[in-house]
Chain A
Amino acid sequence: DAAVTQKPRYLIKMKGQEAEMKCIPEKGHTAVFWYQQKQSKELKFLIYFQNQQPLDQIDMVKERFSAVCPSSSLCSLGIRTCEAEDSALYLCSSSLRGADAEQFFGPGTRLTVL
């Protein structure tokens, strides 16, 4: 079975603090995605990497987040200054290249901003 790893599983930050979460994609997968999910609802796309290069991201990520994949086996998503509205489950997924490729999701990092 595919295994995408995310750490930490739970993260608690005060408003204004910095947060960082990590994702280890499935070995051999070249595409990595980050999503934000609030209260088990819509999967909100954040950013997409292909071969460690960011190919697409939403404005919120450009403005307040930092996301990198320094190697093919590690990606990270950071929030420079946490706000209450950032409280959510952050899901990382990876896939092989190709439009018909299945995405494999990690268990997520649940961020709570107090």
Chain B
Amino acid sequence: GDSVTQTEGLVTLTEGLPVMLNCTYQSTYSPFLFWYVQHLNEAPKLLLKSFTDNKRPEHQGFHATLHKSSSSFHLQKSSAQLSDSALYYCALSSYGNEKITFGAGTKLTIKP
């Protein structure tokens, strides 16, 4: 079955440093990958998702590249901002299994 692994539960960084949150997956069928972000006391919302034509999705300075060879979809940003502090979930769905599977989440804290 489908699964998503986020190895870091907690990530703490200083403002201005680069961000990379790891996400690897297992999927039986052709996968779609997503990153959702949940700020404190808010509902999760979509940050970005993979494209079928392998274009790199970008939003709010974040980007992620789907690497099918390594089954990864790591989230990156060149320079962290205080407002990036939130919970980040990597998620997966696929043709043949449209139920989305979420990873355990990574709590990102950005310090001044």
Contact surface of A with B, Cβ cutoff 8 Å: 31, 33, 35, 40-43, 45, 48, 50, 55-56, 91, 93, 97-108
Contact = CB atoms under 8 A, between A and B. Distances in A.
A108 B98 contact: no
A104 to B, nearest CB: 8
Contact of A100 (B45, B52, B97): B52
A45 B93 contact: no
A85 B72 CA distance: 34
A103 B98 contact: no
Interface of B: 32, 34, 36, 38, 40, 42-46, 49, 52, 87, 89, 93-102, 104-105, 107
A31 B98 contact: yes
Given A40-B87, A42-B105, A55-B99, A102 B46 contact: yes
28 contacts: A31-B98, A33-B99, A33-B100, A35-B102, A40-B40, A40-B87, A41-B104, A42-B102, A42-B104, A42-B105, A43-B89, A43-B105, A48-B99, A55-B99, A56-B99, A93-B44, A98-B98, A99-B93, A99-B96, A100-B32, A100-B52, A100-B93, A101-B98, A102-B34, A102-B49, A103-B44, A103-B100, A108-B43
A98 B57 CA distance: 19
Contacts of B87: 40
Listed residue (B32, B89, B95, B99) with the most chain A CB atoms within 10 angstroms of its CB: B99
Contacts of B45: 104-105
A99 to B, nearest CB: 5
B74 to A, nearest CB: 19
Contacts of B44: 43, 91, 93, 103, 105
